[in-house]
Amino acid sequence: MSLPVLRCRMRVSSIQAVKNADSSVAEERIKLSAVLGPENESWSKYTPLGELNITLTNTAAFGKIIQGGEYFVDLVPVEE
């Protein structure tokens, strides 16, 4: 049985760089908020409300997420 995928359109509302003692970046804390868009109609009937917080600790991922940028977050069930 195939389970439904929910696609969320989200905007980066903040990025906080947490630094080490030597001023190098240790992690990036990213906050995303749901925005209006037809992609969100699968889970939100009117005004979408949602927030996602993630912490990046892989230095190769730093700088890949842009403040104010919009991204899709897909919720895909894990089928075991």
Q: Which residues contact 23 (CB under 8 A, 6 or more apart)?
A: none
The closest of 74, 32, 34, 69 to 53, measured between CA atoms, is 32
At 23-77, the pLDDT tens digits run 999 999 999 999 988 888 888 888 899 999 999 999 999 999 999 999 999 999 8
pLDDT the model gives residue 5: 84
CA–CA gap between residue 53 and residue 39 (Å, rounded): 20
pTM: 0.84
